C-alpha cells in the first residue's frame, strides 16, 4: 500500500463496505490452522477448485513410495533439514486455490499465520517478526491477495481469523550490550549477550537495509522502507522496553518485559489492569490492525503471545478491536489469545481482558493426545471441562465457546525440545482418526492443524519438523520434496469429512452438554475406561452430547488391532427401554444407518461396535 504513517491510510475506501457479518456462534465453527509459507504455492497438480474442477500444476501428488526420498543420503538430508528453516514459497493465492479442498473437508474457519512484512533478508517465514505493520510480506503476495482470499472464503461460507502480533516487532534494532560476555554460537566470536536482568540496555542503532545497526536510534530514518520499523509512529525509543531477551520464561516481570528471542518487546503502557495507561505504540498497533479488519474484511484475530503482554494492554486491544468491528457490522469479531501455561491462569486472564477464547493450553492438548493414544485415562481429558469450578464457573458448557481445542500445532511448547506430531509414531498413525474425532466432537472450538488430516508425521528437535510444506517444495512432508499432499482420497480426509458433516447437521455436537460414559462388556459391571498397568488403554471410549432432550453418543476404539463391542451408558431419564439408536456415522461403512436397541442396563445403555482404531456417532432413530 506504500503507507508510511497511519495518517497515510485511506480509511474512507475500506469503511465503505459492505462487510461480512460474524457467525451466530463461534462454537459452531471448525478451525483449520496453517502456516502460510508451508501450505500452498498454487502449483499442485490435480487439486479441485470449489466447483470440483481439477486444476493443473507442476507438482504431482505424494505417494507412499516418495517417503524418505529427500533424505536418501546424508547430503540430501542436510539440504532437506536446512530448507526447513527457510522460506519455502507458500502464498495467499496458493491458499485461495485450496479453499475447495478445505470446504469439502468441512472446515468453516481459516486461521492464517501472520501475513505482514518481515524484516527483509531474514528467514522469518512464519511471520512473527514484523518490520512493517502496514504491508503484506511480498513473499506471500500483494495486499489485494489477502482481500481475495477472505472474499472467496466468505463466498464458500467460511470465516478467516488472522494471526496478529502486538507483543513485539521483528529484530529491527541491535543493542550495544555492556554485560553478560558470551560466545556467538554461529561465528564463535566473543560478544555481549543482552539478556534480561531488569535493567535497560543502550541501543547501537536501527538496522539498515543490510541488517546492520547503522541508523541513529530515535531519529526518523526517512523514506527507507527496508530499514528500521514501520509505520513511522513506531520509530520512537519509547516504543520498546529495551531490556534484552527472556531467559526465565516463567519469571514475572521478565516474561512481560523481555524480548522474545531476538524480537524486540513493545512497551504497551503501565499500571494496573483497571487503571492502565496505554502507550502511543499500543494505540498505533491497535489502529493499524483495525485498518486490516476493514481492508480485508477479517472475522477474527488470533493474538500471539498474550502471556507476555500486560493484562491491561490485552484488555485495551480487545476493547478497541471489538468496538471497531462492531462499527462495521461485525458484532461477534473473534479475539482468541495464545496463552501458554496452566488452564486456570489462562481462563482468569481471558475473563479480565475480554478475550473470547484461549488456545495453546498445555493440559488440554496433552490430555487430548494421551486419551486418543490410550496412554491416559479419558477422565483426565473430560474432567478438564467438567471441573469448571476450578476457574469459578458453575457449568461445564461454559467452556464450549471459550477454548480452542487441538493437539498438533506449529511449536508444541508443551513438549520442550522433543517435537512430534500425533502421527509421528506407529500408534499415532493408526489412531489419527480417533484423535480427530475426539477433537471435533467434544466441547470446545476444534482446530485442525494443517496436515493432520493427511497423517503428517513430522518429528525432531526443532520446530521446523512440525512445519512441513504441504505443497512439497524443498521441505516436503514425510521427508520428501516436490510432492504435494492435498489428497482428498486419503482415508483420514474422507472419514474426517464425514464426521464434520454430522457435526454440521447436529447442534448437540456443537453446543450440547458433555458426559463421559461408563461402559460394560458383560452387561453387569460398568466402569469408566481406565488405563491399568504400564500398557496402553485398548478399549471403547464413549461420551454423550446432550442438548435439551436430544442425546448423541460418540464412541472411539483405541485398540488398533481389533473391533470391539460394549454397552455404552446413556441418560436414564431421557430414554425408554426398547427405543432405538441409529449409526449416523461409522468408520465401518456397513454399519451406517443400522440400529441398536436401548437396553435397561445401568439405567439405560446401548450396545455399540466400533472397528479397530475407528469411531462411531449414534443418534436417536426417528
Q: What is the per-residue pLDDT across 556-591, written as a single tens digit (0 to 9) for each?
A: 999 999 999 999 999 999 999 999 999 999 999 999
Q: Is the pLDDT of residue 622 over 90?
A: no
pLDDT band at 362 (very low <50, low <70, confident <90, very high): confident
Worst-scoring range by mean pLDDT, 19-28, 342-351, 476-485, 607-616?
Answer: 342-351
- The confidence score (pLDDT) of residue 551 equals 99
Whether the CB-CB separation of 59 and 483 falls below 8 Å is answered with yes
- The confidence score (pLDDT) of residue 347 equals 82
- The confidence score (pLDDT) of residue 391 equals 57
What are the cell numbers at 332? 461477534
| 3-state secondary structure labels for all residues of 157-212 | CCEEEEEECCCECCCCEEECCCCCEEECCCCCCEEECCECCCCCCCEEEECCCCCC
Alpha helices in 387-537 (DSSP H): 426-430, 432-441, 491-505, 507-511
Worst-scoring range by mean pLDDT, 70-74, 175-179, 384-388?
Answer: 384-388
49 by Cβ neighbours in 10 Å (0-12 / 13-18 / 19+) ranks as middle
Please give the Cα distance from 557 to 561 (Å, whole number).
Answer: 10
Q: Is the pLDDT of residue 388 over 70?
A: no
Q: Is the pLDDT of residue 392 over 60?
A: no
- Distance between start and end Cα atoms, the chain: 57
What are the cell numbers at 487? 489428497
At the top level of CATH, the class of 506-620 is: mainly beta
pLDDT band at 345 (very low <50, low <70, confident <90, very high): confident
pLDDT band at 33 (very low <50, low <70, confident <90, very high): very high
Q: What is the per-residue pLDDT across 176-225, written as a single tens digit (0 to 9) for each?
A: 999 999 999 889 999 999 999 999 999 999 999 999 999 999 888 999 99
* Phi and psi, residue 436, nearest 5°: -65, -40
Overall average pLDDT of the 256-270 stretch: 98
pLDDT band at 506 (very low <50, low <70, confident <90, very high): very high
Q: Is the pLDDT of residue 165 over 90?
A: yes
Instruction: Compute the radius of gyration of the chain from its Cα atoms.
Output: 25
Instruction: For residue 616, give the 3-state DSSP assignment.
Output: strand
Scan for cell 482420497, then name that residue.
489
- Residue 413 vs residue 269, higher pLDDT: 269
Q: Is the pLDDT of residue 396 over 80?
A: no
Entry pTM: 0.97
Query: How many CB atoms are located within 10 Å of the residue 496 CB?
Result: 24
* Phi and psi, residue 305, nearest 5°: 45, 50
Looking at residue 287, the DSSP 8-state letter turns out to be: H
Closest CA to 414 of 466, 470, 336, 377: 466
- The confidence score (pLDDT) of residue 552 equals 99
Closest CA to 448 of 432, 464, 462: 432
Q: What is the per-residue pLDDT across 552-565, written as a single tens digit (0 to 9) for each?
A: 999 999 999 999 99
- The confidence score (pLDDT) of residue 369 equals 97
Domain ranges in the chain are: 6-38+66-168+273-503, 506-620
Q: Is the pLDDT of residue 399 over 80?
A: no
Overall average pLDDT of the 370-377 stretch: 98
User: Any bridge partners for residue 590, and if so which?
Assistant: none
Overall average pLDDT of the 477-497 stretch: 99
| 3-state secondary structure labels for all residues of 75-127 | HHHHHHHHHCCCCCCCCHHHHHCCHHHHHHHCCCEEEECCCEEECCCCCCCCC
Overall average pLDDT of the 113-123 stretch: 98
Scan for cell 502471556, then name that residue.
307
Domain 6-38+66-168+273-503, architecture per CATH: Alpha-Beta Barrel (3.20)
Whether the CB-CB separation of 381 and 367 falls below 8 Å is answered with yes
What are the cell numbers at 95? 491458499
Q: Is the pLDDT of residue 390 over 70?
A: no
Q: Are strands 109-112 and 31-34 parallel, antiparallel or unpaired?
A: parallel
Q: What is the per-residue pLDDT across 77-107, written as a single tens digit (0 to 9) for each?
A: 999 999 999 999 999 999 999 999 999 999 9
- The confidence score (pLDDT) of residue 375 equals 98
The helix or strand, by DSSP H or E, that contains position 272, with its residue range, turns out to be none
Q: What is the per-residue pLDDT across 265-306, written as a single tens digit (0 to 9) for each?
A: 999 999 999 999 999 999 999 999 999 999 999 999 999 999
Across the chain, what does the average pLDDT equal? Answer: 96
User: Any bridge partners for residue 617, and if so which?
Assistant: 554, 585
Q: What is the per-residue pLDDT across 304-331, written as a single tens digit (0 to 9) for each?
A: 999 999 999 999 999 999 999 999 999 9
Amino acid at each position: 500500500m506504500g503507507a508510511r504513517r497511519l495518517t497515510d491510510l485511506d480509511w474512507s475506501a475500506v469503511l465503505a463496505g459492505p462487510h461480512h457479518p460474524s457467525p451466530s456462534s463461534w462454537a459452531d465453527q471448525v478451525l483449520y490452522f496453517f502456516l502460510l509459507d508451508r501450505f500452498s504455492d498454487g502449483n499442485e497438480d490435480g487439486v479441485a477448485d470449489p466447483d470440483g474442477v481439477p486444476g493443473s500444476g507442476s507438482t504431482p501428488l505424494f505417494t507412499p513410495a516418495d517417503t524418505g526420498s529427500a533424505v536418501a543420503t546424508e547430503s540430501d538430508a542436510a539440504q532437506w533439514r536446512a530448507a526447513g528453516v527457510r522460506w519455502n514459497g507458500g502464498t495467499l493465492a496458493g491458499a485461495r486455490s485450496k479453499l475447495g479442498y478445505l470446504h469439502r473437508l468441512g472446515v468453516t474457519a481459516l486461521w492464517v499465520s501472520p501475513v505482514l512484512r518481515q524484516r527483509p533478508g531474514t528467514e522469518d517465514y512464519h511471520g512473527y517478526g514484523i518490520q512493517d505493520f502496514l504491508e503484506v510480506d511480498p513473499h506471500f503476495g500483494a495486499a489485494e491477495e489477502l482481500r481475495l482470499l477472505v472474499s472467496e472464503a466468505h463466498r464458500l461460507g467460511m470465516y478467516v481469523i488472522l494471526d496478529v502480533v502486538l507483543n513485539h516487532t521483528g529484530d529491527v534494532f541491535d543493542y550495544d550490550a555492556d554485560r553478560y560476555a558470551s560466545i556467538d554460537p554461529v561465528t564463535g566470536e566473543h560478544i555481549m549477550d543482552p539478556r534480561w536482568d531488569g535493567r535497560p540496555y543502550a541501543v547501537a542503532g536501527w538496522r539498515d537495509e543490510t541488517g546492520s545497526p547503522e541508523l541513529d536510534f530515535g531519529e526518523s530514518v526517512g523514506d527507507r522502507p527496508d530499514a528500521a520499523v514501520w509505520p513511522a509512529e513506531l520509530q520512537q525509543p519509547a516504543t520498546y522496553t529495551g531490556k534484552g531477551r527472556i531467559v526465565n520464561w516463567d519469571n514475572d516481570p521478565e516474561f512481560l518485559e523481555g524480548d522474545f528471542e531476538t524480537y524486540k518487546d513493545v512497551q504497551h503502557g503501565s499500571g494496573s489492569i483497571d487503571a492502565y495507561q496505554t502507550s502511543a505504540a499500543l494505540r498505533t498497533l491497535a489502529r493499524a490492525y483495525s485498518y486490516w479488519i476493514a481492508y480485508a474484511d477479517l472475522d477474527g484475530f488470533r493474538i500471539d503471545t498474550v502471556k507476555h503482554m500486560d493484562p491491561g494492554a490485552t484488555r485495551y486491544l480487545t476493547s478497541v478491536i471489538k468496538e471497531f468491528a462492531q462499527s462495521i457490522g461485525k458484532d461477534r469479531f473473534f479475539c482468541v489469545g495464545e496463552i501458554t501455561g496452566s488452564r486456570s491462569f489462562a481462563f482468569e486472564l481471558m475473563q479480565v481482558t475480554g478475550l473470547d477464547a484461549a488456545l495453546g493450553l498445555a493440559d488440554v492438548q496433552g490430555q487430548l493426545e494421551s486419551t486418543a493414544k490410550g496412554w491416559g485415562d479419558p477422565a483426565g481429558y473430560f474432567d478438564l471441562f467438567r471441573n469448571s469450578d476450578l476457574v469459578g464457573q458453575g457449568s461445564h458448557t461454559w467452556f464450549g465457546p471459550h477454548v480452542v481445542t487441538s493437539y498438533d500445532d506449529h511449536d508444541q511448547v508443551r513438549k520442550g525440545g522433543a517435537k512430534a506430531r500425533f502421527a509421528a509414531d506407529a500408534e499415532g498413525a493408526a489412531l489419527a482418526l480417533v484423535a480427530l474425532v475426539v477433537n471435533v466432537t467434544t466441547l470446545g472450538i476444534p482446530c485442525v492443524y494443517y496436515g493432520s488430516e493427511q497423517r503428517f508425521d513430522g518429528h525432531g528437535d526443532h520446530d521446523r519438523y512440525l512445519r512441513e510444506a504441504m505443497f512439497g517444495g524443498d521441505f516436503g512432508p514425510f521427508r520428501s520434496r516436490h510432492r504435494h499432499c492435498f489428497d482428498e482420497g486419503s482415508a483420514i480426509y474422507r472419514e474426517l469429512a464425514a464426521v464434520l458433516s454430522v457435526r454440521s447437521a447436529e447442534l448437540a455436537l456443537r453446543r450440547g452438554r458433555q458426559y463421559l460414559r461408563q461402559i460394560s462388556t458383560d452387561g453387569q459391571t460398568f466402569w469408566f475406561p481406565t488405563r491399568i498397568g504400564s500398557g496402553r488403554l485398548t478399549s471403547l471410549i464413549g461420551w454423550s452430547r446432550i442438548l435439551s432432550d436430544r442425546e448423541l453418543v460418540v464412541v472411539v476404539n483405541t485398540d488398533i488391532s481389533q473391533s470391539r463391542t460394549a454397552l455404552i451408558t446413556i441418560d436414564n431419564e431421557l430414554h425408554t427401554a426398547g427405543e432405538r439408536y441409529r449409526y449416523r456415522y461409522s468408520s465401518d461403512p456397513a454399519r451406517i444407518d443400522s440400529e441398536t436397541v436401548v437396553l435397561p442396563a445401568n439405567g439405560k445403555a446401548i450396545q455399540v461396535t466400533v472397528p479397530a482404531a475407528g469411531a462411531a456417532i449414534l443418534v436417536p432413530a426417528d
